């Protein structure tokens, strides 16, 4: 049986809403031939499509595959009519998969099958380690030295290890979950759902403390004036010496937002040499929003609670169009929401949710807006 998480990934993929992280998860799951057979069965039952590998043209398949499974960070735009376009997406998808199948990519069984809903840690040698929410484990480097300890929903790295070069680990948090990590310098980072963070297992003396973020994270940075802490979030660098701030930089979002809680941060474009005179400086209580389309930045006062409540498992909306909160709900609750109600999409929502389930939330929305919706497992359709 296909898990709810995988079903969500399939639907996101077919609707061209899948993020880079989601596409990688689906591709990893498909590497197992048993999963591939489950996948074919799922498409046949749910979309009335039967796959015949003999029908594929190899040369055309290769071309389609290169276009389809692209590792660059592209923003997938929501298609206007899901029910019409999903069939075309399915055909293109399996032209590519047919090429893989014919060329032997599905002939070997992976040694480790990683559930898509798992929190994972990729080590320096490429090995992937699953971090169970209720488990404990140790993180070991290539030489067998213990560099960190995992306990429950937190990972703590040691500052006692001796490293002369930068060695990176990558932590990935799926939808519906959050995780905490303490870096070797004592900096604490909260990772939101659907987030990936690449970081050194030990910061090196004389080098900037640089990490790479895809998603959303709250940083509480240990002060070190000699070693600036830099968060690379796609097209933007956020430079601090020691402070607390939130960064939201999901691949599919049009903006990269930095909200400062205390201290001071400088925001500047990736690739540019840092210059305090040309960088955008933020003061506590303000937000810098970087527009990806035109590389413009805007600074405005921010509602701190709205941007940081997720750390405690809450979601807060303040006069936001419903169409703009759909993705936040999807990430938080690990669901797929298809909104066919354009009028509802333009409605402004002000609400706070804490222990409510996604069912509770839609019951509340129904009271306020009298909406017509259906919930089937992890898919919600609004008409």
149 beta partners: 138, 156
- Classify the phi-psi angles of 263: left when phi > 0, otherwise alpha if psi is within -120 to 50, otherwise beta: left
- pLDDT tens-digit profile of 151-180? 999 999 998 888 889 999 999 999 999 999
Distance CA 278, CA 276 (A): 6
Please give the CATH topology (third level) of the domain spanning 120-306: Jelly Rolls (2.60.120)
Q: What single-letter DSSP state applies at residue 211?
A: E
Distance CA 338, CA 146 (A): 45
pLDDT at 23: 74
- pLDDT tens-digit profile of 4-40? 778 777 776 765 556 767 777 787 888 787 887 787 7
Q: What does pTM read for this prediction?
A: 0.72
pLDDT at 145: 87
- Classify the phi-psi angles of 277: left when phi > 0, otherwise alpha if psi is within -120 to 50, otherwise beta: alpha
In order, the DSSP letters of 86-133 are HHHHHHHHHHHHHHHHHTTTTSS--S----TTSEEEE-TTS-EEEE-T
Q: E strand or H helix at 83, and its extent?
A: helix 82-102
Contact 181, 173 (CB under 8 A): no
- pLDDT tens-digit profile of 31-64? 787 887 787 777 666 555 455 444 444 445 434 4
Distance CA 216, CA 133 (A): 19
Q: CATH number for 314-382: choose from 3.55.50.30, 3.40.50.300, 3.90.870.10, 3.40.50.2300.
A: 3.55.50.30
Confidence of residue 68 (pLDDT cuts 50, 70, 90): low
242 beta partners: none
Distance CA 233, CA 198 (A): 11
Q: Is 60 exceeded by the pLDDT of residue 358?
A: yes
Same fold for the pair 120-306 and 314-382: no
Q: Locate the domains of the chain by residue range.
A: 4-102, 120-306, 314-382
């Amino acid at each position: 049986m296909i898990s709810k998480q995988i079903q969500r990934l399939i639907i996101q993929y077919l609707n061209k809403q899948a993020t880079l992280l989601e596409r990688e998860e689906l591709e990893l799951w498909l590497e197992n031939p048993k999963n591939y057979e489950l996948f074919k069965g799922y498409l046949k039952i749910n979309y009335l499509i039967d796959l015949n590998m003999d029908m594929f043209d190899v040369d055309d398949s290769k071309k389609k595959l290169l276009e389809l499974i692209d590792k660059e960070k592209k923003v997938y735009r929501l298609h206007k009519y899901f029910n019409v376009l999903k069939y075309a997406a399915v055909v293109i998808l399996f032209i590519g998969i047919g090429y893989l199948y014919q060329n032997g990519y599905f002939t070997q069984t992976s040694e480790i099958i990683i559930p898509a809903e798992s929190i994972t840690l990729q080590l320096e040698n490429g090995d992937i380690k699953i971090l169970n929410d209720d488990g404990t484990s140790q993180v070991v480097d290539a030489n067998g030295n213990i560099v960190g300890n995992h306990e429950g929903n937190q990972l703590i790295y040691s500052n006692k290890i001796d490293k002369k070069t930068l060695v990176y680990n990558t932590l990935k948090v799926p939808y519906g979950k959050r995780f905490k990590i303490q870096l070797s310098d004592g900096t604490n980072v909260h990772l939101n759902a659907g987030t990936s963070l690449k970081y050194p297992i030990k910061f090196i003396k004389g080098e900037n403390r640089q990490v790479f973020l895809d998603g959303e994270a709250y940083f509480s940075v240990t002060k070190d004036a000699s070693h600036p802490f830099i968060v690379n979030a796609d097209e933007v660098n956020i430079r601090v010496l020691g402070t607390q701030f939130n960064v939201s930089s999901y691949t599919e979002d049009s903006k990269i937002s930095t909200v400062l809680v205390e201290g001071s941060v400088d925001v500047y474009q990736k690739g540019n040499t840092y210059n305090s005179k040309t960088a955008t400086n933020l003061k506590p209580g303000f937000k810098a929003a970087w527009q990806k389309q035109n590389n413009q930045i805007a600074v405005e006062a921010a509602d701190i609670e709205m941007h940081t409540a997720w750390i405690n498992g809450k979601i807060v909306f303040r006069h936001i169009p419903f169409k703009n909160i759909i993705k936040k709900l999807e990430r938080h609750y690990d669901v797929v929401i298809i909104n066919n109600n354009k009028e509802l999409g333009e409605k402004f929502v002000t609400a706070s949710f804490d222990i409510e389930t996604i069912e509770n939330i839609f019951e509340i929305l129904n009271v306020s807006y009298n909406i017509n919706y259906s919930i089937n497992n992890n898919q919600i359709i609004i008409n």
